[in-house]
Structure 1
Amino acid sequence: MAMTPFHPSRRQLLAMIGQVAGAAAMYQAMTSLGFAAESGYSGEPDLQGPRGRRRVLILGAGVAGMLAAYELRRAGYAVKILEYQDRIGGRCLTLRGGDRYTEMGGHEITCDFEGDGYLNPGPWRLPVHHRAVFDYCRRLGVPMQPFINKNNKAYLHSATAFGGQPQRVGHVEKDMRGHVSELLAKSLNQGDLDETVSVEDREKLLEGLKEWGVLDSNYRYRVSDELGDVRGWEIRPGGGLMPDKKPSQPIDLSPLLHSGLWDQLFNFHDYLFEPPMFEPVGGMDRISDAFAREVADVIQLNARVIRIAQNENSVTVSYEDGGRGGTVHQETADWCICTIPLSVLVQLEVDCSDAMRKAIAAVPYASAFKVGLEFRRRFWEQDDWIMGGISYTDLPLVQIAYPNYGFLSDGPAVLQAAYDTSTAGRTFTYSWSTMTPQERIDAALALGRRIHPQYDTEFMSGTSWVWHRVDWSLGCYGEWTDDLRDAHYKTLCEIDHRLVLAGEHCSHIPAWLEGSFLSALDAIRRLDERENA
């Protein structure tokens, strides 16, 4: 294929270098939005404990509520948790064969997986720098396994580029690196960067670009045996009298740029997704189960909170008891920690300051959807040599994630066959929200077969989850902006008389378990300080 001339602008060249070289600039921008902040965890809280017998009522048995109960009990507080659902864990849940849920609108979510595969509708991976999560998993005995976020054998896919054929992640990345290296070498040789690069630095940079981009003696990115050792082979080196090796052919710059695949590479460069990443062995609910083993005796399920009343000395929570016909009961305590999602809390009657009430109402919740499909065999491993990782596409699926467990095993296995959130700036999530559960499965199959044609012969069953149709969360996570944080974040996190909020929405790391952990730890620390002031 002849190379089409391409003359990038300075902005395009810098964007290309940023895509290939890393995400330092994007990390700073994401931190300001609250998505990439480093964990502030410095160890388990050093609580003084109560003066006498003091009771704390916690609303919500997600990880934030159970962590708060775990630490407060250790410090000597009497604790009780009221949980709306008939299960613990909140958004930290895992779907397995036999599970049944009813979403808003009355549709039943079924999961009929026959093997040991599962789908995590909420959190599904853990950055290694989320220290609180890892410390508590260590303390509570939750085993971890590596989570392969980036796999060079996985695919990047455009419905309109390269005849709709998916391209390997590694091929796209190395071709972009090679082309950018060639462009930068040309700029250096033409003297375009003389004002910023010394003669000595120019020579060192050219030498480095030649190696880094696998350029030839004329600083061109072309097919060669050296490139085969980096990019891979069309005919792999063999043994005996096998055919001679043949290096793979790189993709030309212009079609690569117009395909949009190089832009999909940025999904792997965010600071949050730096390797290594991890996941609990057996599913994310292993974390919530571990906390439940410590605090199950203080959890009351099927308790639907309808009002939070407080005065200077106590707080009283009214709730409907689903286990006793929906009769209304009350619990009174010295303090209340509320982890109810703001999207639900805003609909309840809460005695609090006007500023707090405005803060609760100010934060919208992101939408998100996932579809899990079970197949008879691991064709992605056996046919395509994809062992874990994620493929990205511009189809409404957005991404396909391959399991990081059970490698090379026979029998059924589950793909996370579709996933996206509304914070990505796309409208796909709202389309999936309007579908019935079966329509989501059908759509994932119809779209996914364009990347993996094996779908048609290997499909067994599927399940799905749409967070805006979950009545106990009404969305996936708090969707902050800089302006909203400036106006409401401090107020939302402050102790309001006898009430303090906690959860991922009260953190600078929304959507992540670490945000829930850090928020809960900060809330109980400040509560303990107020108790002992």
Structure 2
Amino acid sequence: MSRRDLLTMIGATAGSAALYQAMTTLGHAQESTYQGPVKLDGDPKGAKVLVLGAGLAGMVAALELRAAGYTVEVLEYREKAGGRCWTLRGGDSYTELGGFKQDVKFSEGNYLNPGPWRIPHHHHAVLDYCKRLGVTLEPFIQKNHNAYLHSTAAFDGKPQRFRDIAADYRGQTSELLAKAANQGKLDEMVSEEDKEMLLESLRLYGALDKDFAYVKSEHTSDFRGYQKWPGGGAGAAPIPSEPIDASQILQSRLWQWLDDAETIDHQQTIFQPVGGMDMIAQAFEREVKDLIRYNAKVTSIQQDDSGVTVTYEDTGGQGGPQEATADWCICTIPFSILGQIENNLSGEMKGIIDSMYYAGSAKFGLEFNRRFWEEDERIYGGISYTDLPISLISYPSTGYFSSGKAVLLGGYSWGAYAYQFNALPPEERIKRAVEYGAMIHPQYKEEFSNGVSVVWHRVPWVLGCYGIWKDKEADYEKATKFDGRILMAGEHISYLPAWQEGALLSGLDAISRLHDRVING
């Protein structure tokens, strides 16, 4: 059997988690390439590096370069550091393109992460820097069997518990496979010995009875829940629940969301910083704040054989154009912005920059007067999925059982839906998010307090969510190379687009190669 055939079989029968582990064993996939703190040995002899952008890629570059003996200056467009590692809290205000300003009215302690909102267990660089910089993490709940799956075209638009669909789909497909095996349909694919083991595993995995049938029973109810749950005292005997018809589940298409938590980036354990994702940005900023010039809008990047000169405007009101010079430059400005800045980069690099487009997405932070998802529906963290334009609802993975107001991620939309939300003013976006959410949680309309939304194509400092390559195979390696005295870094210069891990790894790789050039010529 070829490796390809083996991997195909593993993926089809055991799922994506087993497939990824098999690929890793066979050398086809790896976890994060982070190997621990970067080592920049040798004296740079006072060389100066200009870092453009104080996102995570820029700040990790500044942090490690200074530690290695470089003179470092960082230019940041915004009034604070972090880039897309960004959190909105009560008292904040945010103005998007078009002049739409939103004043965040969340209660103390509540927040929305418009950008990254979770950290996978195998993103070693992020986790290591959180530990080194004192960022406290807590579990992020990705998969909750008590959350909902919802389609407007199935079950009369009524949301179904995740566990019901998951248990019944698993049981019914296991029954079909068992029937095929017993009818000899798999004899050419598996040996007689393997067939017996397969049947035994299907009986256990699918909660099948002795005849390999998935039927109403206490056994199946242990997975999908009971019609009447076990209790204590008189009349406490449980009543098993009736499985949903297999055809109804298939036609509902609710199964399309069952594997979302099985991909390697979404498997538990996943983490989040206590208090908001920008706790990571704040931790980096504490270390390099004295190096950062804020409100610096870069207008020109020029280089020659001796160094790099960057012209910028001080948008904080400190006068006209100013210049910063250095021997070298690490540029973490998103290509969506860099393509609009005057520069004398090579024609090849300019072509790559201009060819990259940025994905659009929309997020909604909705504050409610009480945690009705916990009090009424016993949903503690996790995600409900829907075919509505909001795509999902994510419940807070912190503050369980607390009283008072709380914030849901009331939608996270991509593609065509994100473009539709782009065209609406913030108040209309929030109104629609509440209307859609009420189709899953009727309590929305009575309990809603206030909300804020971010559509990433309207975010001034990035104009999109993350970079998408037109021809990654042809252009990626070219974009990582020195262009004169300038190196690119950021999530877009990684194979982990949109993830903070990609930004950190890209920044660390850039400074390692820059240091090698400085030391060895």
User: Does TM, normalized by the shorter one, top 0.5?
Assistant: yes
Q: 1:511 aligns with which of 493, 498, 503?
A: 498
Alignment of 1:294-333 (within 5 A): 294-333=287-326
**Cα distance between partner residues in 2 of 1:126 and 1:169:** 23
Alignment of 1:185-196 (within 5 A): 185-196=178-189
Alignment of 1:156-235 (within 5 A): 156-235=149-228
1:191-215 per-position Cα deviation (integer Å, ceiling 9, x unaligned) = 0011111112212211221121111
Amino acid at match of 1:502: A
Residue 480 of structure 2 is aligned to residue 487 of structure 1: no
Residue 408 of structure 2 is aligned to residue 418 of structure 1: no
CA contact (8 A) 1:61 1:82 kept: yes
CA spacing shift, 1:469–1:76, aligned 2, 3 Å: same
CA contact (8 A) 1:153 1:385 kept: yes
Amino acid at match of 1:232: G
CA spacing shift, 1:225–1:334, aligned 2, 3 Å: same
Which piece of structure 1 moves more, 522-531 or 203-212?
Answer: 203-212
Ranges in structure 2 where 5+ consecutive residues have no aligned partner: 1-7
Ranges in structure 1 where 5+ consecutive residues have no aligned partner: 1-14
Q: 1:442 aligns with which of 410, 431, 456?
A: 431
Residue 106 of structure 2 is aligned to residue 113 of structure 1: yes
Cα deviation, residue 221, structure 1: 0.7
In structure 1, what is the equivalent of residue 420 of structure 2? 431
Q: 2:461 aligns with which of 455, 458, 472?
A: 472
CA spacing shift, 1:330–1:117, aligned 2, 3 Å: same
Cα deviation, residue 38, structure 1: 2.5
Amino acid at match of 1:474: L
1:276-321 per-position Cα deviation (integer Å, ceiling 9, x unaligned) = 0000010000000000100001111111101111011200001111
Residue 514 of structure 2 is aligned to residue 527 of structure 1: yes
Amino acid at match of 2:79: D
1:167-226 per-position Cα deviation (integer Å, ceiling 9, x unaligned) = 111111111110111000110111001111111221221122112111122211100011
Cα deviation, residue 421, structure 1: 2.5
Query: What SS does structure 2 have at the residue aligned with 1:323?
Result: coil
1:402-455 per-position Cα deviation (integer Å, ceiling 9, x unaligned) = 001100111100000000223xxxx11101111111011100110000100011
Query: What SS does structure 1 have at the residue aligned with 2:258?
Result: helix
Residue 67 of structure 2 is aligned to residue 81 of structure 1: no
CA contact (8 A) 1:49 1:77 kept: no
Query: What SS does structure 1 have at the residue aligned with 2:412?
Result: strand
Residue 249 of structure 2 is aligned to residue 260 of structure 1: no
Q: What stretches of structure 1 move > 3 A for 4+ residues in a row?
A: 15-21, 24-28
**Cα distance between partner residues in 1 of 2:429 and 2:418:** 11
**Cα distance between partner residues in 2 of 1:90 and 1:413:** 25
Instruction: Name the % identity.
Output: 53
1:148-176 per-position Cα deviation (integer Å, ceiling 9, x unaligned) = 00010111100110111111111111111
1:2-32 per-position Cα deviation (integer Å, ceiling 9, x unaligned) = xxxxxxxxxxxxx99968842259869x99x
In structure 2, what is the equivalent of residue 65 of structure 1? 58
Cα deviation, residue 242, structure 1: 3.8
**Cα distance between partner residues in 2 of 1:19 and 1:126:** 27
**Cα distance between partner residues in 1 of 2:119 and 2:313:** 35
In structure 1, what is the equivalent of residue 269 of structure 2? 276
Residue 140 of structure 2 is aligned to residue 143 of structure 1: no
Which piece of structure 1 moves more, 492-501 or 503-512?
Answer: 492-501
CA contact (8 A) 1:369 1:419 kept: yes
CA spacing shift, 1:209–1:51, aligned 2, 3 Å: closer
Query: What SS does structure 2 have at the residue aligned with 1:391?
Result: strand
Which piece of structure 1 moves more, 44-53 or 232-241?
Answer: 44-53
Count of equivalent residues: 509
**Cα distance between partner residues in 1 of 2:9 and 2:339:** 44
Alignment of 1:5-24 (within 5 A): 21-23=14-16
**Cα distance between partner residues in 2 of 1:221 and 1:326:** 74
CA spacing shift, 1:353–1:504, aligned 2, 3 Å: same
Cα deviation, residue 326, structure 1: 4.7
**Cα distance between partner residues in 1 of 2:279 and 2:446:** 33
Residue 83 of structure 2 is aligned to residue 94 of structure 1: no
Query: What SS does structure 2 have at the residue aligned with 1:306?
Result: strand
CA contact (8 A) 1:20 1:173 kept: no
**Cα distance between partner residues in 1 of 2:13 and 2:449:** 39
Amino acid at match of 2:328: W
Which piece of structure 1 moves more, 237-246 or 279-288?
Answer: 237-246
CA contact (8 A) 1:310 1:498 kept: yes
**Cα distance between partner residues in 2 of 1:474 and 1:529:** 33
In structure 2, what is the equivalent of residue 7 of structure 1? none
CA contact (8 A) 1:123 1:512 kept: yes
**TM-score normalised by length of structure 2:** 0.94
**Cα distance between partner residues in 2 of 1:37 and 1:345:** 31
**TM-score normalised by length of structure 1:** 0.92
Alignment of 1:339-488 (within 5 A): 339-422=332-415, 427-480=416-469, 484-488=471-475
1:297-349 per-position Cα deviation (integer Å, ceiling 9, x unaligned) = 11111111011110112000011112345510111101111110100000111
**Cα distance between partner residues in 2 of 1:177 and 1:510:** 32
CA contact (8 A) 1:400 1:416 kept: yes
**Cα distance between partner residues in 1 of 2:397 and 2:483:** 44
1:344-394 per-position Cα deviation (integer Å, ceiling 9, x unaligned) = 000111112111111111111100110010011111011111100000000
CA spacing shift, 1:432–1:326, aligned 2, 3 Å: farther
Query: What SS does structure 2 have at the residue aligned with 1:532?
Result: helix
Amino acid at match of 1:498: R
CA contact (8 A) 1:114 1:412 kept: yes
CA contact (8 A) 1:19 1:265 kept: no
Cα deviation, residue 37, structure 1: 6.2
1:43-93 per-position Cα deviation (integer Å, ceiling 9, x unaligned) = 111102443211111111111111100000100001110111111111101
**Cα distance between partner residues in 2 of 1:27 and 1:91:** 28
In structure 2, what is the equivalent of residue 290 of structure 1? 283
CA contact (8 A) 2:77 2:296 kept: yes
Amino acid at match of 1:89: G
Query: What SS does structure 2 have at the residue aligned with 1:93?
Result: coil
CA contact (8 A) 1:308 1:349 kept: yes
Query: What SS does structure 2 have at the residue aligned with 1:504?
Result: coil
Alignment of 1:29-48 (within 5 A): 38-48=31-41
Query: What SS does structure 2 have at the residue aligned with 1:374?
Result: strand
Amino acid at match of 2:475: H
CA spacing shift, 1:16–1:444, aligned 2, 3 Å: farther
Query: What SS does structure 1 have at the residue aligned with 2:130?
Result: helix
